[in-house]
Structure 1
């Protein structure tokens, strides 16, 4: 049975403390944009502080009898201080660094073993991993073949583990990965897994800490429970339709130690990241079967980014702000 569009898990799973982002009661869904609510709040708060601070300093410089019309050097030093404070206040909301952005308008660079800047084999190589024209644009076509069934593979790769056939790309330590994925109409009511996007999380010591995975099968999107095994049904995002591209996204918040799994900018699940500090690589795969199947999955617009950590303010800066603000207030009272 096709799950309702509004379905979300309401109990905790092994993926960690799962936080449903809205309930079935009709409460509006919370949408976590790419910039994030925390960054928006910080930007708004810092802008208000800077606006008031600039107003106080301008007032102080214009009305104080010793500084307003006198010592130019002192006024310049005050201006330099103001600019420095503005830079410090906004240092923590710098934009994310793009690690890689690939539109697959041409064939990607491939390799058989781990190679920087190339898509190299993960588990077992798909029959094709190439750019193809699809719906009016060059897309990444990941093709599997019935010839690569369990019986058709070499003896070392005969197990079901090698039914997952894809390629991996090294990222270093990304915090967000996203890619467009075409949901073929043939997926509806079809049995078995198809494919999606995987990540390999690492902790501060460089050890593997998580395998965040976002796929589509059983008529809904699924996240992998990397702590206990198994899959968590996520339902479908608002406005979902077969025969269209959706954007799959996995984002890491290192401050809350959580992953957010989103489809087309709608967050479907938030769960524990198990101490992950970054995503070392990403994997795009197509899932074959023991009997073998011919199928092509289409991807496009892969982007991996690194969100910078907020820059802490110097310990003495609050005192400086308080002192300069008080000077402006005192000057206003003398007016």
Structure 2
């Protein structure tokens, strides 16, 4: 792709040859290949601007910077106010803004977001919609799964956009992304055009990074802001919030077109009626803004009822018929590594 086209779409100021062909977007100088655009990003411990010369020596065709840096003469430069934000926009532009061709949901929270992500993807697939998912566990599209070996729940922007592009190419219509607070603060999903923002709960994890619970909630709330301001794709922008969680009041202050709540009581838009819980799952009538559906869950524990209500809200917001949501939830058997039953013939 021409450097000038990437720069124009990402709002960067280009200095140098506009016709250079870019073959990849890279933020780690150790991974640069000839033809790549190296984006120098200021990290927590390392500043990519210190490695511009190394990137050029390895064949970088151009560099993107946010401050003055010395580099070999003749190398095209993109100047941006923030290369952290720029990395997201440049990556999205390079891959053709794939999220604009998808109905996209982001799932965040302290606990349960992996399960909700895969539960929603399962319901979408079961309803006949070709769907994809990105989570701590795997990247999945149209039922095919690749392990996530990155060490990150939400990968960096180039990887996120690359996977979205693969999913578009595979015919996906909807994608669900597990979205961490770190990813939101570090702008990894900045260029994702979300239609739904879903929240599980907000506990007291990651306070080494966010310092206070209030800052942690604010980091999570960015997902609502991204969704509210995302491109219009004919899907009403929706926040799906846990009415029973302490974070609810703060999150509910964020502006968005539609807000659905879920919880165990009738105060929530989505809630269970005639609930029966067993050791292996639960059964209930699910009350929703669009009517009622019978739900049989084959995953145990009360928290999975919350997860199912959240996933149901996501799928309904993305356009899945109510009856298909109930049927899809019944077929979900859980996520590997998440409360998996171990049957070795033991008597318990």
Q: TM-score, normalised by structure 1?
A: 0.23
- Higher relative CO (Cα under 8 Å, sequence separation at least 6) belongs to 1
Normalized per residue, which structure has more strand?
1
